[in-house]
Chains A and B, each alone.
Chain A
């Protein structure tokens, strides 16, 4: 008995002497709680009777638990309106967003890496801009461009004002513009992932096919596409759940999805809205399951080999390389530069959306009142101070910076440690579990995660609504995957011998990490810190339910956009974009890492 217990103690000692095991055990427990507890809280909420809502009316009770919400949501006359139509719309939106981002991102990645296209460096840098900007800003730009009195029943947008052309309704509102806007927003994911493979691809495979006189379309479908299949799957993995959970884009472009329905049902059908959040979460779990299956069944495609260092570049022809470049420059201008210019102009218009200075050619119609007004009794600013003196914007900016920096530091550190520990225990089931549980929140739609955290932390014992603590907790849990994936992928490239040599020298773990491992893989690790920071800076869906407007910039921006005070929202957009560009440039300068690194520019 004593021998057995000594043996167990020794085994435990050996187990815990390895830092990776301590990390896995600790974060396994913590992440299980932070991921599972919100899910349990929201499941409980679906059974809870909420005073003043449908479940109270149906059960005639003001407290307790009941399955009335499930019965009503799935079987009442409103099931089609409240559940099935939004569900179908959501799936269509997510699928179409994936298709657009993969086709467009993949095509540009191909053109930049595998052809002799002109202006590659510029196109590669500008291509990631839509991801940097908050996703609904493109939706607002879309409205400003294409709305018209004749079709959308609003005032004329820029296109109609300047040319008289009116776009059809399907172009202005609904599935199509939502998918295009979200597709463009997530295209950089596809571009970076597919581009990475194209860049490193062994040209011998294609060359062999060419020698065998294989038609070009066959080379594309039988050789090239199968090789980028893993990148396509990864893009779907990242984009599908994000598109599903997007609230602001369908909200602005008038498309009913589970997210918009969640918000609209929440007052009167509170428990049923929680069921919608669970359905969104189930999709996240399903995607994780599919990913696991595909990992098991995925054929191994070697993209990097030692034989060919050169990738053969396809010649687009003299005209081709210019024409395609000009088209891409125009498209990226419209999706990146034009919105920024529009935001800047908007802050000088006399009334929101009033572009009369363009067709009167009278710049005296422009104003600086949105920037310089002091004192909030100026009716023209709807009771707000000018941007430079607006306390709400300043407070929100400080709040955003605090939350983003905290999320980046905590999520980046935890993610890096998890990535390291998982890479050291690749065959362990527990490591695999920790890796999956850390990744799961990313696959769950942001709005659903936000809803779950709101319910979990709004109770008598712990009430964190509208606190930075809650935002940081939600942000960290949601963004750990950025860091853990980046760290895992880079750690897997590291040979174990490197660390083993240090272990033999009896160098402590902290020193091994800070002096050997982190410096070698610094660019991936920094990405793991940068991505949470950038995403957090302009996150809305996740934080929408967790704080009030004026608390952080994204909720303030959304507030001004909803109010139609586009000068303020445009100014906030400009602030966000400048912040992101400055931070990106700073990190690039300090570490040499950047988002589009290694695809086109270099």
Chain B
């Protein structure tokens, strides 16, 4: 009898647990469904009702979430002056954000209300496919992009960031083709693909048809002797390209990836790469790094922004100018403050004030065209290198904007679904490639 009773109780407990979990999941999803029909003002009212006096926990790959939250609270206080909310913003390193979110997802009610996260590939396979994170599409954002929340089938982007090819121009060397960065003796500075996984996604994206075409076109523009250097590698990769089911120019992509992995000089972060390149002693050195790093360079006897050139800005440059990856916004499926999370996400993606934490820097572009236009109006990034006298003192800092970079600058833009689809075909092949160890330079 006792045993039976225990069994019934245990089954009851498990069922209750499962039910509690599913109620939470349904709650967040149904809240998101309702929230997608609301304006920012309406969401703000819900947020005030939900989180007044509470603590909001967010986690993200960008530390700027911490800067955006106080302005969001100020915004809510313009509606209800008595409103107040404590907040805590965490920025884990070394890919820990995924483990942290996974661990938090096990709780019936999580700690984190929302996340700002990068690496579409891992988000797709670890977070979206597993139902840990839910996408919320703000009404005004959808309208500005000419879509409806119901029809939109993707993650919500906060911004697109670009990493661009730059080179030190204190010497004579010119990089006028993307293949020059993988030519013999060239060792661009780059963050390791294992320490920042979006770099690996960039390599995967090169194999997508439209981007492989960029590589083919750039290759065709090379002088014959340079073509002759690359051709054997391209030919050798034809078989693998076929094996992985890549398009007709897949071999160009694989050859480029192989040469890139064997050429790049791994650095811990884009900061040190930037500091190296702008130094006069780094003659002819090149790198692929976040564009916005140029903002922090202070001119001195040895260091100047004018010691570098942005490759894609130079006349006659052929091929892709860098790659783009996104910061995405999600509500956690077990969010303790789902309305507030939705309101905060809406605030960041539909107002210039909400995006200001990122917008003041060049190289980061709001996914909302209206917000992007307002930000450009405020900060005039297109003339970021102009001095007070109206002279273009640092041309490398004149950010030509998202439109230019994606079309003319031929940015390789991350596509989470595509990355996930080649993760263990092209991805496993990438793992086996030999990395540059510096021995060549030492010889």
Binding site for B on A (CB under 8 A): 51-54, 56-57, 62, 77-78, 81-82, 149-156, 160-161, 168-170, 172-174, 251-252, 254, 263-268, 350-357, 360, 362, 365, 367, 376-377, 379-383, 454, 458-460, 463, 465-466, 544-545, 548-550, 555, 559, 561-565
A-B contacts, 19 of them at CB < 8 A, read: A52-B126, A57-B423, A149-B281, A149-B283, A150-B441, A152-B438, A153-B265, A156-B281, A168-B442, A354-B279, A458-B100, A463-B106, A463-B107, A465-B99, A465-B100, A466-B90, A545-B96, A561-B268, A564-B271
**Which size class do B's interface residues fall under?**
35 or more
Across the interface, B98 reaches (CB within 8 A) one of A82, A267, A465, A561, namely A267
Q: Give the CA-CA distance A54 to B63 in the complex, in Å.
A: 30
Cβ–Cβ contact A367 & B298, under 8 A: yes
Across the interface, B438 reaches (CB within 8 A) one of A54, A173, A251, A350, namely A173
The residue among A51, A52, A151, A263 with the most chain B CB atoms within 10 A of its own CB is A52
Asked whether A549 and B93 contact (CB < 8 A) given A356-B301, A377-B360, A565-B271, the answer is yes
Query: Is B297 an interface position by the 8 A CB rule?
Result: yes
Across the interface, A563 reaches (CB within 8 A) one of B126, B269, B439, B442, namely B269
Across the interface, A153 reaches (CB within 8 A) one of B91, B268, B441, namely B441
The 3 closest A-B pairs by CB, nearest first: A52-B125, A564-B271, A460-B106
**Which residues of chain A are near B274, meaning CB under 8 Å?**
564
Binding site for A on B (CB under 8 A): 63-64, 67, 90-96, 98-100, 102-104, 106-108, 111, 122, 124-126, 129-130, 187, 189, 192, 194-195, 197, 265-269, 271-276, 278-279, 281-283, 285, 295-303, 360-361, 423-424, 427-428, 431-432, 437-439, 441-442
**Which residues of chain A are near B423, meaning CB under 8 Å?**
57, 268
Cβ–Cβ contact A149 & B296, under 8 A: no
Asked whether A351 and B94 contact (CB < 8 A) given A151-B441, A153-B285, A562-B269, the answer is no
Cβ–Cβ contact A354 & B300, under 8 A: yes
- Closest B residue to A355 by CB, please name it: B302
**Which residues of chain B are near A379, meaning CB under 8 Å?**
295-296, 361
Asked whether A266 and B441 contact (CB < 8 A) given A51-B129, A78-B432, A351-B303, the answer is no
Across the interface, A51 reaches (CB within 8 A) one of B126, B360, B361, namely B126
**Which residues of chain A are near B104, meaning CB under 8 Å?**
463
Cβ–Cβ contact B298 & A152, under 8 A: no
Across the interface, B103 reaches (CB within 8 A) one of A77, A151, A173, A459, namely A459
Q: Give the CA-CA distance A170 to B437 in the complex, in Å.
A: 10
Asked whether A352 and B275 contact (CB < 8 A) given A151-B441, A153-B438, the answer is yes
Given contact pairs A174-B437, A351-B275, A356-B300, a sample of 15 additional A-B residue pairs in the complex whose CB atoms are under 8 Å apart = A52-B125, A56-B125, A78-B428, A149-B285, A151-B442, A254-B266, A254-B437, A267-B98, A351-B303, A356-B302, A365-B300, A383-B67, A465-B99, A548-B90, A559-B93
Cβ–Cβ contact B441 & A51, under 8 A: no
- Closest B residue to A169 by CB, please name it: B442
**Which residues of chain A are near B361, meaning CB under 8 Å?**
379
Q: Give the CA-CA distance A127 to B279 in the complex, in Å.
A: 35
Asked whether A353 and B275 contact (CB < 8 A) given A155-B281, A458-B99, the answer is yes
User: Dominant SS at the A interface?
Assistant: loop
Across the interface, B271 reaches (CB within 8 A) one of A52, A151, A254, A382, namely A382
Q: Give the CA-CA distance A254 to B189 in the complex, in Å.
A: 14
Q: Give the CA-CA distance A356 to B98 in the complex, in Å.
A: 42
Q: Give the CA-CA distance A454 to B95 in the complex, in Å.
A: 14
Across the interface, A463 reaches (CB within 8 A) one of B64, B103, B126, namely B103
- Closest A residue to B301 by CB, please name it: A356
Measured CB to CB, the closest approach of chain B to A175, in angstroms, equals: 12
Q: Give the CA-CA distance A82 to B271 in the complex, in Å.
A: 28
Cβ–Cβ contact A154 & B189, under 8 A: yes
- Closest A residue to B121 by CB, please name it: A52
Asked whether A463 and B111 contact (CB < 8 A) given A561-B268, A563-B269, the answer is yes
Q: Give the CA-CA distance A94 to B310 in the complex, in Å.
A: 43
**Which residues of chain A are near B67, meaning CB under 8 Å?**
376, 383
Measured CB to CB, the closest approach of chain B to A543, in angstroms, equals: 12
Q: Give the CA-CA distance A377 to B64 in the complex, in Å.
A: 11
**Which residues of chain A are near B92, meaning CB under 8 Å?**
466, 548-549
**Which residues of chain B are near A151, meaning CB under 8 Å?**
438, 441-442
- Closest A residue to B90 by CB, please name it: A548
Q: Give the CA-CA distance A494 to B278 in the complex, in Å.
A: 64
Q: Give the CA-CA distance A465 to B103 in the complex, in Å.
A: 9
**Which residues of chain B are near A458, meaning CB under 8 Å?**
99-100, 102-103
Asked whether A383 and B63 contact (CB < 8 A) given A78-B432, A267-B95, A351-B303, the answer is yes
**Which residues of chain B are near A155, meaning CB under 8 Å?**
275-276, 279, 281-282
Cβ–Cβ contact A564 & B275, under 8 A: yes
Q: Give the CA-CA distance A488 to B298 in the complex, in Å.
A: 56
**Which residues of chain B are near A353, meaning CB under 8 Å?**
275, 279
Cβ–Cβ contact B302 & A77, under 8 A: no
Across the interface, A351 reaches (CB within 8 A) one of B102, B125, B267, B300, namely B300
Measured CB to CB, the closest approach of chain A to B77, in angstroms, equals: 21
**Which residues of chain B are near A367, meaning CB under 8 Å?**
298
Cβ–Cβ contact B197 & A267, under 8 A: yes
Measured CB to CB, the closest approach of chain B to A350, in angstroms, equals: 4
Cβ–Cβ contact A51 & B125, under 8 A: yes
**Which residues of chain A are near B441, meaning CB under 8 Å?**
150-153, 169
Asked whether A77 and B192 contact (CB < 8 A) given A149-B282, A383-B63, A548-B93, the answer is no
**Which residues of chain B are near A545, meaning CB under 8 Å?**
94, 96
Q: Give the CA-CA distance A279 to B285 in the complex, in Å.
A: 40
Asked whether A268 and B432 contact (CB < 8 A) given A254-B266, A351-B303, the answer is no
- Closest A residue to B97 by CB, please name it: A548
Cβ–Cβ contact A459 & B106, under 8 A: yes
Cβ–Cβ contact A354 & B303, under 8 A: yes
Cβ–Cβ contact A350 & B265, under 8 A: no
Q: Give the CA-CA distance A376 to B93 in the complex, in Å.
A: 21
**Which residues of chain B are near A77, meaning CB under 8 Å?**
432
**Which residues of chain A are near B442, meaning CB under 8 Å?**
151, 168-170
Measured CB to CB, the closest approach of chain A to B370, in angstroms, equals: 23
**Which residues of chain A are near B189, meaning CB under 8 Å?**
153-154
Q: Give the CA-CA distance A14 to B274 in the complex, in Å.
A: 71
Cβ–Cβ contact B107 & A460, under 8 A: yes
Q: Give the CA-CA distance A52 to B360 in the complex, in Å.
A: 35
Across the interface, A252 reaches (CB within 8 A) one of B268, B295, B301, namely B268
Q: Give the CA-CA distance A594 to B303 in the complex, in Å.
A: 45
Q: Give the CA-CA distance A550 to B59 in the complex, in Å.
A: 13
**Which residues of chain B are near A459, meaning CB under 8 Å?**
103, 106
